[in-house]
Amino acid sequence: MKMELLNTLLTGHPVIDQEHKKIVNSINEVTASIQNHEFQKCADLMDRFLTVCADHFTTEEKLLAELDYPHLKSHITFHRELTLKAKAVRILCMDMNDQDGLQRCFDEMAALLIEDVIKGDMAFVSFLIEKGVTKPREYAFPIPKHLF
């Protein structure tokens, strides 16, 4: 199943949103390689997926630091925890040679990193709006404070 980045998950920041699209495209590439039984290619694409995510985290943290985001430290911690979990799942994935097991394993890894977009990034959208970096969005939804 192909994943799409919904408008409700866009931050309104062009660089961040473009990187979120790269993450989604990377997820779709890995999924396609699993479905095509291209397991060696899959390993390389998983590594690329983790690199795309790490690059995104760096970009995002730099932007938030420049804007003096008050929750930056916890957001960085959140990124580090997601990265460690995703790397652990990636190692488990490479021990599998069957399509279903590998797909379930990758889905778990991707879900961890998609959590960044849903839980982590949506928490700072209102901050970006307040700073004048992005414009208010009609389709934005509030993120409960206990999530960040």
pLDDT tens digits for 51-110?
998 999 999 999 999 999 999 999 999 889 888 887 877 777 776 666 777 777 778 777
Q: Which domains does the chain have, with CATH numbers?
A: 12-137 (1.20.120.50)
What does pTM read for this prediction? 0.80
Binned at pLDDT 50, 70 and 90, residue 142 comes out as very low
Helix (H) or strand (E) holding 118: none
| Cα separation, 79 vs 83, whole angstroms | 6
Q: Percentage of the chain with pLDDT > 70?
A: 86
| Cα separation, 99 vs 82, whole angstroms | 24
Contact 42, 33 (CB under 8 A): yes
Position 71: which residue type?
H
